[in-house]
Amino acid sequence: MRRTFWRLAVLGIVLFSFPGLAQAEKAYCDLKIEKTVSPSPLVSGQQAVFTIKITNVGTDACPGPTYVVDSGAPGLAFVSASGPGWICIGQTCTYLGSILPGGSATLTYTYTVIASPGASITNCAEVRNNNDRNAANNRVCVSSKVVALPGRCDLTCSVKVSPDPLIAGQPATFTVTVTNVGNAACSLSNQVVVPPISGLSFVSASGVGWTCTQVGGQVICNYPGTIPSNGSATVVFTYNVTASLGTTINFCSNVANKDDTNPGNNECCVRVPVAAGNCDLVCGKKIEPHPVAAGYPVTITVQNVGDSPCPGPTWISDAGITGLTFVSASGPGWTCVGSTCSYAPPSRPAERSR
């Protein structure tokens, strides 16, 4: 009888000391919030991304909705918030799905840093879910210093062409403007390189402060001076258009500097068609001296003011002048029969007279 009593007593102690043997612990939802920021330190005038991770460290699922509110901070200007499965309105985001034990949901907040260098910013966020049994891990804050944007040289370029369209057989100029869009000067080794271009024959290149040479078909121009932030330097390339009427010329140039931090914007191009141009002849008549004296010539000048050559022949006929008697007509390159003359070579650029 005593032995049975002691056996029952020991069993009672065991059940009292380990209640889990009698009843399993109830599962629970427990959301934990974590936050990181990039870059760190923050850079004045630039954007910063705060990444928030919500993890269920409990033993039961956390059904939606789950809310996250990021409070921002003085010195930060809100830009956007988003994440897979999240619906964000302003700085409040809602996750309608269920977060299983060990599972997580991530979202990001983007701000522009408007604080001055030297400031310190603390940004906090909270997570809420009506099923969460532990509020102690529902709030998180990160602090970061604000620094100035590091100095960087960043060259880009633009190109303008004249005339547009190009005229077959005529010269054309391509004006390349090199601009420093960085926040620090670009010094010593600024360079523009134009590769060989089909349909164009190089003539010259020049610009204030630039030294240009043609090497193996490509044209290389160096600017040893300093291009300050938001400053620019211009160089002009002249070519003869050898391409045929109806074709298109693709002119590209590349800029470089050994300190350039952004090579992605170093090329600039322009596509321009080749046209025939226009022949436009004008003529003028001059009689000297005044008043008219016997034996002095009448000079007629024919000039092409168009943008394309005027192929020969070119004819001119003088109807005479009352009070004057025709004697003869002549001029370099002209063939005259009576008062009618023809000129076979192109009349541009030289002016011709008779």
Q: Over the stretch 267-306, which tens digit does the pLDDT of each residue have?
A: 999 999 999 867 778 888 777 776 766 666 778 888 887 7
Start-to-end C-alpha separation, the chain = 153
> Average per-residue pLDDT in the chain?
88
pLDDT of residue 280: 79
pLDDT of residue 104: 98
Q: Which residues, in sequence order, are CB contacts of 35 under 8 Å at separation 6+?
A: 50, 51, 52, 53, 123, 125, 140, 141, 142
| Interatomic CA distance for residues 156 and 263, integer angstroms | 9
Q: Is 99 helix (H, G, I), strand (E, B) or coil?
A: strand
Its pTM stands at: 0.52
pLDDT of residue 333: 85
pLDDT of residue 331: 87
Q: Is a pLDDT exceeding 50 seen at residue 39? A: yes
Q: Highest-confidence range of 23-32, 35-44, 268-277, 300-309, by mean pLDDT?
A: 35-44
| Interatomic CA distance for residues 82 and 295, integer angstroms | 94
Average pLDDT for 39-57: 96
Closest Cα partner for 171 from 214, 200, 212?
Answer: 200
Average pLDDT for 150-160: 94
Q: Which domains does the chain have, with CATH numbers?
A: 31-147 (2.60.40.1530), 155-275 (2.60.40.1510), 281-353 (no CATH)
| Interatomic CA distance for residues 330 and 340, integer angstroms | 10
Q: Where is pLDDT greater, at 108 or 302?
A: 108
Average pLDDT for 138-150: 94
pLDDT band of 156, cuts 50, 70, 90: very high
Backbone angles phi, psi at 254, to 5 degrees: -125, 135
Q: Which of 121-130, 147-156, 174-183, 206-215 has the lowest mean pLDDT?
A: 147-156
Q: Over the stretch 74-107, which tens digit does the pLDDT of each residue have?
A: 999 999 999 999 999 999 999 999 999 999 999 9
What are the residue ranges of helices labelled H in the chain?
2-17
Q: Where is pLDDT greater, at 237 or 282?
A: 237
